[in-house]
Structure 1
Amino acid sequence: MNSQKELLTSSYDFTLPSKFIATYPANPRDSAKLLVYNRKTDEIIHTYFHDFEKFIPKNCALIFNDTKVIKARIFGKKSTGGKIELLINKPLDANNINVYIRGKVKVDTKIYFDEELVVIVKELRDDGSRVVNFYKNISLLRFEDLLPILDKIGHIPLPPYIQREDNEEDSSEYQSVFAKEEGAVAAPTASLHFTGEQHKQICDNHTHAYVTLHVGSGTFKPVEAQIITDHPMHSEYYDISDKAKELLDSNISILSIGTTSTRTIEFYEKHGKIQRGEANLFLHPNNKPLRVNHLLTNFHLPKSTLLMLVASFIGVDKTQELYAEAIKNEYRFYSYGDAMLII
């Protein structure tokens, strides 16, 4: 394999007819298609997600990401009356929140929202994000106090390629059945395929544990550098439960449910086995996984770090081959799309 090719961003491009971009979820969730790729036999199997358990390798532990998507998009007005859209990215600490704002602002700009919520802009960052504080009745809010207000006035932050407004259904559908820890602004999408019943059955039958990675909006950012290693990787808060730590520190085989669980596990493995903090790991063919043996994932955007993560398991040529196979078989792509299992 030409490692130079695997470092070129252009190697991760592909053309996807827009009709294959899923704008609504599969109903029921487990009716989504599933492409299974067996690396030992080089075999591709086309099936459906309700058969996922049949393909779980023996003596293997599943690691799920239990993050919960918050209603991170809110709409307000400046004192001049100009309309503003704000997307929360992540808290930097209890009070300072990193956000993206659609509309012109400067430091000290005030933005007014329903529920007597006021934002004051504190800092304009070079990457286009802003640092803000949230107030209610002139009291500075901590991030955890902001969440119930967002639940009332906010919108589910659907990915930009789902070109429609969010609806009531998205509040539950763009959320895994085991979502628990609030803080993500994008769903860990491989998790969206599980029904409650299927998840319970798998957990009854297989060793499993949970990690938390609060997925940030950087997950959608395409790699713009010509060489993938020049890409500045975004960071996200993670927390590894004691049970997950125990499994990761053992020699049991790991099936990671999604790229977000994979980034969490591999950051832990490669950076001193620290149980919580900020993870900014970029997995690609020159930085392969050390701990995750098998991967369940969705089909990702061209030139994305997520596509490069898939290639860290199987190489760029095989990734392109499987994506071409998925397109030929009319799989649905991206967040609400179909799934792939690499064993």
Structure 2
Amino acid sequence: MDLLQKASQINLEKYQYALPEERIAKFPLTERDHSQLLIYQKGDIQHKNFYNLKSYLPENSSLIFNNTKVIPARIHFQKQSGAKIEIFLLSPLDPTPEVAQAMLVKNKCVWHCMVGNRKRWKIQDQLERFFETDYGKIKVTATYSDYEQNHIQFEWDNDAVPFVEIVELMGSTPLPPYLNRSATEEDKPRYQTVYSKNEGAVAAPTAGLHFTDAILKDIQQSHPIHELTLHVGAGTFQPIKANNVLEHDMHCEQIQIERSTIEFLAQNHNPIVAVGTTSVRSLESAYWFGVQLTNNETNTFHIKKLYPYENGFENLPSRKESFQAILDYMEAENLESLHGDTEIFIFPGYKFQVVNALITNFHQPESTLILLIAAFIGEDWRKVYNEALKNDYRFLSYGDSSILLP
């Protein structure tokens, strides 16, 4: 039986666990690094605090962080009738689908969105808001570009202002739906990592929320740190509803990796610690792009959700060979950064090619992220979660942390 046949028989109920509502962390701790830290190492479990992390990093290991920055993606308008409309930005469409470029667009753009209170916003209606800014008064309008597909066109009447500033003016922090509360001023800095740089995520890479500048500085003295960007999409919260997990509509997310990080991955043979599942998805996806280049399959960095399993895990290039193939490609194309996207779906049966250790929070039951954890540490995922529940860990985005060392 091949990997995909086995995966089609995955019983999703085996990845269920009881998560009491009171165990979901609704607010962040006062101190980022005072969260609990569960250390899983080859079956053994210890309990510490996050500020103890450095003591448990593998010797000579390097850390890879996702430096995406969350945008205030919940945008609110109010019609003259008083009806409130919420537009949740999902992904840019026009004039560019690339998030980094879309944030810099001026005057007009189109995004795919979710619309709250949609029945009150008719196809012909134009929504308006006005702002007093350093640039003077700005009028922002929203209209349907495609009503059926929820494609929304935004226009503003000042060509000095990029879209990222419009979003900052209008938007609020896109807290996960399971928090069941409105965003506060405190959420603006706290639902953001201290090392966030590149705007475009609509959900935080939450494993990184525990780090402080002081911890980063301390770790960097003995463990090299590198960054990449994966713009986390709202699909990260989408539960698996299909009986056959292979039929789950895996979300696609954009990746950007600088040449220096690719060079490091090609030249370094020491353990790689991924900070968060988004870093895992990025690193493993980049590896498979190197495989595609090695096999002369494509020069487009787009990893389909089941590509690794269809390709198989036998006779693969080494990490060095795969990332060297990417470097050769970048040299030929005169690229300083690698841009692409991934739908990669990591579930039990996957064989990790890059990541040796994982820092991560505690995830929702029956989710794609639980399947990723189960792929990484096997059946011990349940042991880890039972221990966390028994020891009063806080769960999900604002919850506590773990380091997994299989």
2:123 is equivalent to residue 122 of structure 1: no
Q: Counterpart of 1:179?
A: 196
**Residue in structure 2 matched with residue 26 of structure 1 by the alignment:** 29
Rate the CA distance shift 1:15–1:114 in 2: closer, same or farther, 3 A. Answer: farther
Q: CA deviation at 1:80?
A: 5.3
Report if aligned partners of 2:7, 2:349 keep a CA contact under 8 Å in 1: no
* Cα distance in 2 for residues equivalent to 1:291 and 1:6: 27
Would the alpha carbon gap of residues 112 and 247 (structure 1) be closer, same or farther in structure 2, given more than 3 Å must change?
same
Q: Is the 8 A contact 2:7 2:348 kept in 1?
A: no
The secondary structure found in structure 2 opposite 1:27 is coil
SS in structure 1 of the partner of residue 285 of structure 2: helix
Letter of the structure 2 residue corresponding to residue 111 of structure 1? L
Q: Distance in 2 between matches of 1:194 and 1:6?
A: 38
1:204 shift after superposition: 2.9
User: Aligned equivalents of 1:271 and 1:96: distance in 2?
Assistant: 29
SS in 2 for 1:7: coil
> Secondary structure of the equivalent of 2:54?
helix
Residues 13 and 366, structure 2, Cα contact 8 Å, conserved in 1: yes
Give matches, 1:283-294, under 5 Å. 283-294=346-357
Amino acid of the structure 2 residue aligned with 1:258: G
Structure 1 stretches lacking a partner, 5+ long: none
Q: Is the 8 A contact 2:69 2:196 kept in 1?
A: yes
Question: Judging changes above 3 Å, is the alpha-carbon distance between structure 1 residues 124 and 224 closer, same or farther for their aligned structure 2 residues?
Answer: farther
Question: In 2, distance between residues paired with 1:148 and 1:121?
Answer: 21
Gaps of 5+ in 2: 97-101, 103-108, 132-138, 292-300, 302-337
Distance 1:185 1:114, change over 3 A: farther
Residues 27-63 of structure 1: per-residue CA shift (max 9 Å, x gap): 2111000111112xx2101111000000000111110
Question: Does the CA contact (< 8 Å) of 1:69 and 1:182 recur in 2?
Answer: yes
CA-to-partner distance for each residue in 1:94-142, whole Å, 9 max, x for gaps? 43312111122465543223432111212246xxx622221013x7x89
Q: How does 1:291-302 map to 2 (within 5 A)?
A: 291-302=354-365
8 Å CA contact 1:23–1:162 kept in 2: the answer is yes
Counterpart in the other structure of 1:132: 152
Q: Is the 8 A contact 2:7 2:245 kept in 1?
A: no
| Aligned counterpart in structure 2 of residue 98 of structure 1, from 112, 116, 130 | 112
Q: Deviations over 1:153-187 (max 9, x none)?
A: 21111111112211111111111010111111111
1:206 aligns to what SS in structure 2? coil
Does the CA contact (< 8 Å) of 1:7 and 1:227 recur in 2? yes
- Say whether 1:330 aligns with 2:333: no
User: What does 1:1-343 correspond to in 2, within 5 Å?
Assistant: 7-39=10-42, 42-78=43-79, 81-92=82-93, 93=96, 94=102, 95-104=109-118, 105=121, 107=123, 109-115=125-131, 116-124=139-147, 130-137=150-157, 145-250=162-267, 251-272=269-290, 274=301, 275-315=338-378, 317-343=379-405
Checking the alignment, whether the CA contact within 8 Å between 1:74 and 1:85 is kept in structure 2 is yes
Residue 247 of structure 1, CA deviation: 2.4
* Counterpart contact for 1:257–1:295, Cα < 8 Å: yes
Number of aligned pairs?
333
Task: Measure the CA separation in 1 of the matches of 2:217 and 2:124.
Answer: 49
CA distance change for structure 1 residues 256 and 322 in 2, over 3 Å: closer, same or farther? same
| Cα distance per residue 1:258-295 (max 9 Å; x no partner) | 00111111111113374211121111113332211110
Using the TM superposition, give the Cα deviation of residue 78 of structure 1 relative to its aligned residue in structure 2, in angstroms. Answer: 4.2
Larger radius of gyration: 2
Structure 1 residue 79 displacement after superposition: 6.2
Q: Give the TM-score normalised by structure 1.
A: 0.91
* Residues 61, 247 of structure 1: 8 Å contact kept: no
* Offset at residue 221 of structure 1 (A): 0.5
Distance 1:324 1:6 in 2: 24
**C-alpha displacement at 1:82, in angstroms?**
2.7
Measure, in 2, the Cα distance between the counterparts of 1:148 and 1:226: 42
Answer whether contact 2:363 2:370 (CA < 8 A) is retained: yes
1:172 and 1:32 mapped to 2: Cα distance?
A: 17
Write the distance in 2 (CA, Å) between the matches of 1:332 and 1:6.
32
AA matched with 2:231 = H
Name the CA distance, whole Å, in 2 between partners of 1:249 and 1:113: 49
Instruction: Compute the displacement of 1:302 (Å).
Output: 1.1
Computed over aligned residues only, the root mean square deviation of the Cα atoms, in angstroms, reads 2.1
